[in-house]
Amino acid sequence: MKLIKPFRGLRPTRELAARVAAHPYDVLNREEAFELAKDNPYSFLHINKPEVDVDPEIDVHDPRVYQKGRENLQRFISEGILHRDAEETLYVYKQVMGSHEQVGLVAAASVDAYDKNLIKKHEFTRPEKEDDRVNHIDTLSAQVGPVFLTYEAQAEIDEMIGGIVKGEPVYDFQADDNTRHVFWVIEDKALVQRIEQAVNSLKALYVADGHHRSAAASRVQKLRQQRQPDFDGTESFNYFLVVLFPHNQMQILDYNRIIKDLNGHEAAEFLDKLSRHFDIEAVADASAAKPGKAREFALYVQKQWYRLTANAALEASIDNNDPVLSLDVSILQNTVLEPLLGIVDQRTDKRVDFVGGIRGLKELEKRVNSGEWELAIALYATSIESLMAIADANEVMPPKSTWFEPKLKSGLVVHVLD
């Protein structure tokens, strides 16, 4: 079964690409998106966050919001901001963030392969978030936010893509978050075919980021098949927009926790109970506390940072053959969050919130010092190998286990559902 295929991308003009490119829909709230889009009529936020262009009193899931996104997409096309490539092809997308560089292949991935678990997942999805993306994709007849996939790195694919990035890109710009985004269209049809064959020979692909978008694409396929019972499998709704990166180029940052209260404990009592599982050391500041390896945590309470390291008893109790229970996020849940703080389900408990590692430990300190939160816990980043092992075992990671950086820009290419 094919994993991917070329497609006819809908893309901005070279001159407007930097102004069109926008943050993914799920990293900004409504107010943040409005501020970024209000003075930029070319911003793709008018399409992937169309609530910026309707009355603030209208709920973001109102059908009028999705319809506004469709109108804005059609306007971008009619005004020549976006244009459709004449032939199906593949694309290459490079991101540079500080010293980190990753180069991905942009393609249309098979929904059938996703449904058969050849494109593997590692997270549960939430129905309301799926519903939002289903309505957005179906109303716009387009997938505007790429799903971030990874695969076990292959020298053959690396070599072919490495040759492409030596050529002239169609886009090359520095974004407002200081990341560089470079984009190529592969014009050599024979090379497109060789890359397609190489990727389709892989055993599996893995969803890194975009579980709701991929699940929504599967649901949209079923909706459109019902409306078009004579479908033959070649229709564009049988595919979804992806960018694939080799696993050894992926950058996963820590995903940290802030907690509302100590569940009735005094701070000294809480630390004493933690000492049953961890060696605890008070440190001078956030930089000294930052975890440097697995099984190491940083804790901030009452304006003091502590480094927590799993002690011998805790290490002996961990089943290292279990890819889920041996994760730091699972260890934290099973030794601290549930037994000491009474947080049973991190997805639903309002006493816990999550802060991406891109913001640094100083952001945790700031949030606790505000008085709104009482405790912060920082973790060591989950490895890409752990993610792939869990997906291969058909298991699911605990919530908020991974934070990928840099984020893919929306708007550089769209997959149209003809």
Name the nearest CA neighbour of 242 among 118, 101, 69.
Answer: 118
Distances (CA, A) of 114 to 13, 97, 108, 174: 32, 30, 12, 33
C-alpha dist (Å) from residue 175 to 99, 145, 172, 185: 16, 17, 10, 20
* CA proximity to 209, closest of 253, 169, 149, 163: 149
- Look at strands 147-151 and 239-246 and give their pairing: parallel
Q: From CA 42, how far away is CA 82, in angstroms rounded?
A: 10
Only one residue has tokens 């929504």, namely 216
The owner of tokens 């926008």 is: 22
- Using alpha carbons, select from 60, 72, 84 the residue that is nearest to residue 133: 60
Chain-centre distance of CA 326, in angstroms? 23
Q: Is the preceding peptide bond at 406 cis, omega within 30 degrees of 0?
A: yes
Residue 120 contacts residue 205 (beta carbons within 8 Å) = yes
pLDDT digits (tens, 9 = 90+) for 145-198: 999 999 999 999 999 999 999 999 999 999 988 899 999 999 999 999 999 999
Distance CA 75, CA 69 (A): 10
- What's the confidence (pLDDT) of residue 96? 97
Q: Which CATH architecture has domain 255-380?
A: 2-Layer Sandwich (3.30)
Amino acid at 140: L
CA distances from 2 to 105, 161, 225 (A): 15, 19, 19
Amino acid at residue number 43: S
pLDDT for 400 equals 86
pLDDT tens for each residue of 188-236: 999 999 999 999 999 999 999 999 999 999 999 999 999 999 999 999 9
List of the chain residues with pLDDT < 70: none
pLDDT of residue 388: 96
**142-147-148 Cα angle (round to 5):** 155
- pLDDT, residue 399, reads 83
User: Domain locations in the chain?
Assistant: 4-251+406-416, 255-380
**Separation CA 1–CA 311 (nearest Å):** 48
In angstroms, the CA 295 to CA 386 distance is: 14
Pairing of strands 205-209, 119-120: parallel
CA distances from residue 237 to 138, 158, 244 in whole angstroms, order as listed: 10, 29, 19
